[in-house]
Amino acid sequence: MRRTRILRAGLAVLLLLGAGATAATTPATAEEKAPASAGLLTAMQRDFGLSRQQAEARLAAEKQATALEPVARKAAGESYGGSWFEADRGTLTVAVTPGASAGTLRDIRATGATVRTVAHSARQLAATQARIDKLPAPDAVSSWHVDQKASTVVVNVVRGRQGDNDVRAFVAKARKAGPVTVHEVASAPTTFAAGTVGGDPYYTGNVRCSIGFSVHGGFVTAGHCDQHTGSVYGWDRSYVGNFQGSSFPGDDYAWVNVGSGWWTVPVVLGWGTVSDQLVRGSNVAPVGSSICRSGSTTHWHCGTVLAMNETVNYSQGAVYQMTKTSVCAEPGDSGGSFISGDQAQGVTSGGWGNCSSGGETWFQPVNEILNRYGLTLHTY
């Protein structure tokens, strides 16, 4: 049981709370120095159908692609049309517009990236999305994002609702903003906060949510979890701290200070499914990369990064610059950790579906939260 584990392993305790356990003072073991824990590899084997060797190779290729992406982006310059990780080949693809010079193509290829020509630049697509962001969206429009591979802005509409008058009007206005493609999705997104239930942290008002990542002085989590009651309580209902800042909708982030005997550690809880995962940074994983999520309801699940900078249209209002994944989640997982390898990616916001039938989940990128509040990620 979790209480037994917490009493037995103080390190895991406050990780789970987002602000819990002491920092390790002993030297790192061989496993801790490795690029991925045995538990993470096991989870990837389960969720992606890979062998251990294939999982190791994918993580190594994703780490290389993550480091390569900003260099290749700079080489592309004004012709940059986007980039993504090709899981089947283990390579980074960089898109460029038709006018890219031979020198630009040579410089990109020199980084080790593959080059692909697309119709529109990333800047043009971002401008299109920004114009759509200003439109009031009906509930049946679930989200919209830039699809760099297709070089278009994808507007996602709930299945069977494309014929609604308000949806048709929104799509017509969106098409005037720039290149737009309409896709159907199974359901509208909802946030993953939950009513108070016993067993898992953290609690505020009548809501249970999950810790995202430890920062120096506290932890980050989802903004919609802030019930504006101030106080936050841990798994054992003891006082942890208070919300120091939050934003929702528009954004979906918050941070909580930590005190009263609680402290922070750079760990994401594995819930016994995988080993607790050390956090070593927050480099952004490209589209196509594997990614895993830890939450207090459904614990540990993995999937793929599907899109970045997507605008999600919740019933409470739109949230901008979200990252979409194929990872499932359920109520109570809100605020929990999204991690790729040992790199923090973001905090769980919402989605559709569940972990029985599948679904999609969005997260608020962690670097935006850190920058907004001037926080420093607690890393190992």
CA distances to 239, 263, 269, 285 from 257, rounded to whole Å, are 11, 10, 19, 28
Q: Bridge-partner residues for 348, per DSSP? A: 363
CB atoms within 10 A of CB 176: 11
Give first-to-last CA distance, the chain, whole Å.
Answer: 27
Cite the active site residues: 224, 252, 334
CA distances to 182, 291, 323 from 339, rounded to whole Å, are 30, 6, 12
Question: Strands 299-314, 141-147: parallel, antiparallel or unpaired by DSSP?
Answer: antiparallel
Q: Bridge-partner residues for 299, per DSSP? A: 295
User: What's the CA gap between 189 and 157, in Å, rounded?
Assistant: 11
**Whether 50 contacts 73, CB under 8 Å:** no
The region that residue 46 occupies, defined by phi over 0 for left and psi between -120 and 50 for alpha, beta otherwise, is alpha
Nearest to 212 by CA among 129, 115, 293, 140: 293
Question: Strands 203-204, 180-185: parallel, antiparallel or unpaired by DSSP?
Answer: unpaired
User: What's the CA gap between 268 and 291, in Å, rounded?
Assistant: 13
Quote the crossing angle between the two packed helices 52-76 and 38-48, to the nearest 10°.
Answer: 90
Q: Which amino acid is at 294?
A: S
User: What's the CA gap between 181 and 153, in Å, rounded?
Assistant: 6
Nearest to 183 by CA among 310, 353, 348, 314: 310
